[in-house]
Structures are given as C-alpha cells and as structure tokens.
Amino acid sequence: MFSKKNYKLLPASIVMGLLVSSFVVLQEVHADITSLGRQSATQVGGFGRNAVGGSQADATHIYTVNSRQTLLKALGQSTNDVPKIIYLSGTIDMTKDSQGRTLTEDDYAQGTGYHLESYLTAYNPSTWGKKKVSGQQEINRLAAQRKQAEQIEVKVPANTTIIGLPGASFVGGNLILQKNNIIVRNITFETPYDDFPQWDPTDERTGNWNSQYDAISVQGASNVWLDHNTFDDGRYHDSQNGTYFGREYQHHDGMTDITNGADNITISDSVYRNHDKTMLIGNSDSKTSDTGKLHVTLVRNLFQNTVQRTPRVRFGDVQVINNFYQNDGTSTYQFKYAWGLGKKAQINAKNNVFVIAKKSPVAIINKFKGTQLSDDGTIFNTKFVSAASISHTSPTMSTLGWSGPLIASKQLPESILQTAGSGVLK
C-alpha cells in the first residue's frame, strides 16, 4: 500500500522543477514578467473576457511571496476586495507549517481518533452493507480531513491577480475562488492529495473511495481567467494508490472544478496532465440554480494523459476551442472520454484535435443525461470526424459566439505544444 509517510520522495521544489522542465517550451521568459500583473482577460476573450483581477492595484498592494505564510498575509481575509497583484516566487508548499516542516496524515489525525484500520473495520462492506457511512469512525475521519483542509485550502478574495514568476509552483494546495474578478496565471500546480478519502458504498454498483480538494475550485465566482498554468499529479500518481474493498483508494479529486453557479470563466493556454477526474463544470443534477450560469471557455489547452472530464458538464454552456488531447496509451492514466454531456449541458466545439492510442472517435463523448453538442473541425487520429454525428447528439441552442483567433486544426498540435503551460509567458 502506498503512503506518503513511507515513500521516499524528492523534495517538492526539485520535483516541481522537473515537471516544469519536462514540458516542451520554445519561448523564453521575459525578464520583466511582472508586467503581466497589469493585464486583463480582454486580450484572450471568451466568457471570462471581463476579468481584470487586481490589475488596477496601487503600489502598496503589489506583493511577492515565497511561502504559505506570506501568501496568506498578502491575500488577507476573504472579504479583502482591494485590488491586489501577488507574484509567486519559488515553491509554495501548502503542506508545510510555519517552521517549514511537512505535515503528514499523522499530524492531521492527531487528537481526532481517526485510524485507517478502524475505519476499514467499521465500514467493511461484508458487515456494513450498502448504506451511507455514519457513526464515530466517519466523524473521526471528517475531523482529520477538516484539519488538513485548514492547512491546504486558500480562499482567494475578489479583485486579485496571482502570477507565477519563472519557475513558480503551488504544491499540495487548493485555491478556492468564491469571489468575483480573479486571475491566476503562469503557475505549475501539483494537485492536492487527500489523506482521508471517504468510502461511499452507494457510489456505483460496488462503491467507491472519494476525495476532497482540487488544485483550483471555482465556486460561485464570476469573471475568472486561468491562463498559462500547468496542472499535474506530480509525485503522487494514482497508480500508487492501492485498493481497499476492491476499489482504488483514490486520493485525488479534480484539477479545476467549476461549480455553485460560477459564471463567465476563461481557461486558456494551460496544460492538464496525468490525472483522472480533470474538470467538472456543474456538480449535481439536482442543482437547478446553475441554469443560465456556468458559461465557460476552454481555449488552446493541452490535455495530456488525462482519463476523463475534459470537461464533464451539467447545466453549463461551454465553448471548447482549439484544444489538443493526447494520450499514447502507455500511461497509467488510460483515456476513457473527453466531453461529458450531463443534464441540460451545451458544448460548442471548434477545431479540436485528438491523438488517442487504442481508441475510436466514439470515445470523444460520454452522454450522461445530456444531448446538446455541436462540433466542427474535429480531428481524431489524423482524420476529420463529426463527434456530434457519431454520438447522435442534438445541435446546441446557443451559438459558438467566438470572435478571437482560431488555429486551423492541422496546425494545432505543434502550436499548442509550443505555447501552452507555465513558463511560456514573456
């Protein structure tokens, strides 16, 4: 069984440096990258085009931070809506305390009464059955998980721009965007690792282990721009998870999940790599309050060795433009599907390219309860295809409405490999 506490690891700063250098980067970083803090999303367009973040910050509200503590101080309280620009320098490791010590599962569990062995005994399906978990062991698990959340979650206030300086990384933390007008750019994220997964016997036929935390959670925020970021499971790939009750002991949730009526989001020129449940837009069929919201643009992103949810949509109106999907079949992250059509979802897709080994075009779409998808210029393994026709979807009621630059499908892979991800901006 894999455990962080008994696995010999390179320091996070070294690993994140390796992750950054592993990407194809053909452009040099400009020495004056700090000018990026004054930029808004107008230049990229999409549904998030009105995001200005903290670009209007005065000189007293521009910060450079290099630790969890200095980041939290610069952000201030979640009600701090003064425009602010924050530059990340080096590795911001959210699992380290103020003395620089990495906190472990044992630290969070201390005083809560949580022990994995006791949890497994209490909820063994052979004795517990198929009902939702409850009782003292679940209470203890929740207490330990809350302690981890207090350490690694960061609530970003309104009118904030966060920019990574060259080589900047954000390790093991969860940026939570619940306020409006936020920009996050040029950062390498190692996705957070939930030390306390929950057993859910009611999830699918045989039950599942589920986790908390995304690298970025957009929860109810409007006017958000996420640009030139790189997301990776880093040191903790799912292949190390092991199993309990015959199911993978899953420590990861999403990379970028957009929920709770969030609206007007653009995600551009970013890399999503080595992950299972990558991007959820709308998290419940019962959340009808999401109707008319969840307008999201995905443009010029690379999805490499991702399994599913790129994106998986409920209620949202999503533009998927000029994205490159790549999985050579040798990764432990085996491709399942790209576009998940959930309840009342609409996806407008234009000039996207798939290079997916051992799969046919039918794998592009998974229809959950949705039927509305329009696509044009889709290439799957060198051939133009109509994903909509193959999956028997209906045309979207909304139009694409994209007025920005558009890369021809055949030129897309080369372009994306040169321009997507952190460390490219100049």
Residues with catalytic roles: 309
Distance CA 291, CA 309 (A): 20
Instruction: State the sign of the Cα–Cα–Cα–Cα dihedral 22, 23, 25, 29.
Output: negative
Tokens linked to 207? 């039950």
User: Which residue from 284, 182, 268 is spatially nearest to 227, judged by alpha carbons?
Assistant: 268
Q: Counting Cβ atoms within 10 Å, is residue 70 exposed (0-12), middle (13-18) or buried (19+)?
A: middle
Identify the residue whose tokens are 């999940």: 257
What are residue 302's DSSP bridge partners? 271, 324
User: Any idea of the CA torsion for 179, 184, 190, 194, to the nearest 10 degrees?
Assistant: 0
Pair type for strands 247-248 and 243-244: antiparallel
Question: In this structure, how many other beta carbons lie within 10 angstroms of the beta carbon of residue 389?
Answer: 10
Phi/psi at 18 (5° precision)? -65, -40
Let me know: does 309 contact 277? Beta carbons within 8 Å: yes
Measured distance CA(215)–CA(193) in Å, rounded: 10
Neighbours of 101 (CB within 10 A): 10
